[in-house]
Amino acid sequence: MNIEEKNGIQYVTFAQFKKYPELVAAVSTRAGGVSDGAFSSLNMSFSTEDMPERVIENRRRYFAVLRLDPKDSVGCNQVHGVNIVRVGKRDCGKGASSRETAISACDGLVTNEKGVALTMNFADCTPLLFFDPVRYAIGLAHGGWRGTAGNIAGRTVGEMHTAFGSEPADIIAAVGPAIGPDRFEVGAEVIAAFTELFGSAEVRELYRPIGEGKYLYDLWETNRRLMLRAVLKEEHIECTRICTHTHADIFFSYRREKGKTGRHMAVMALR
């Protein structure tokens, strides 16, 4: 795992993005915060039963090690959809200190403005990070299974092309920590949704039957393939292959903790 630590805060970084000092791209872990119990300790989400003042302090600590200000962040009320919103300085502060002020019904953000910190929260779903070093633009998306089946990865690339003129061949992307293919148990409705997306032949490469109408499904590889479909170069895609369910001591896992847990946060910003 490529996990860094500063002032007690641990966070995941990405080799491809580290080449660009003007870019901030990180995913927090659960270490270094002030929350306790099921939310121990660096819970980033106001949508949990955690105390809001603790979430605010956790965000302050995390943003401090990234050399960012939480007031410059933009957050969403994520709904497992495919709505992607272009944001800028005018949106800074939305969702920074409460769920009520966040952008509603949104699972993807893009910007080409400096000093705008895109944020998304996760606890098994897939962080999808995008950076165009030519047009100087970024995108961040939340890939739960429904969003992934709706091709939010490809839609984010498309939005960056429409909004900023980004060419897919220039975009560098990462698939962040998420529930892995040995732990993500699903039913027939999930397989049906991805069969519609990929076709019956290709989708069989992405799941494994385990009996009684249950399957293990690979969200990591699915999102990587969707990035390739969006014409990103294979060498421009980095997949961490870190399973949040397996490493629930490091990351929050909604499935492992049966819903009562915190959230870690992906952040992208241009300096």
- Give residue-wise pLDDT tens across range 60-113: 999 999 999 999 999 999 999 999 999 999 999 999 999 999 999 999 999 999
Structure confidence at residue 94 (pLDDT): 98
Pairing assessment for the beta strands 73-74 and 117-122 based on DSSP bridges: parallel
- H helical segments located in the chain: 52-65, 145-149, 152-164, 188-198, 200-203, 219-229
Domain ranges of the chain: 3-179+236-270
Whether the pLDDT of residue 31 is over 90: the answer is: yes
State both tokens at 219.
Answer: 């969200």
Q: What pLDDT is recorded for position 163?
A: 98
**pLDDT at position 171:** 98
* pLDDT on residue 62: 98
- One-letter amino acid for residue 28 of the chain: S
Greatest Cα pair distance, the chain, in angstroms, is 51
Phi-psi region of 103 (alpha: psi -120 to 50; beta: other; left: phi over 0): beta
Residue 115, pLDDT score? 98
Each residue's pLDDT tens digit, 119-136: 999 999 999 999 999 999
Asked if residue 1 has pLDDT above 80, the reply is no
How many CB atoms within 10 Å of residue 53? 10
What pLDDT score was predicted for residue 126?
A: 98
Q: Check residue 232 and give its pLDDT.
A: 98
For residue range 189-241, list pLDDT tens digits in order.
Answer: 999 999 999 999 999 999 999 999 999 999 999 999 999 999 999 999 999 99
Contact 153, 230 (CB under 8 A): yes
Q: Reduced to 3 states, what is the DSSP secondary structure of residue 28?
A: strand
Q: Is 3.40.1390.20 the CATH classification of the domain at 3-179+236-270? A: no
Question: What is the model's pLDDT at position 141?
Answer: 99
36-47 average pLDDT score: 97
Please classify residue 102 by burial: count the beta carbons closer than 10 Å to its beta carbon, then call 0-12 exposed, 13-18 middle and 19+ buried.
Answer: buried
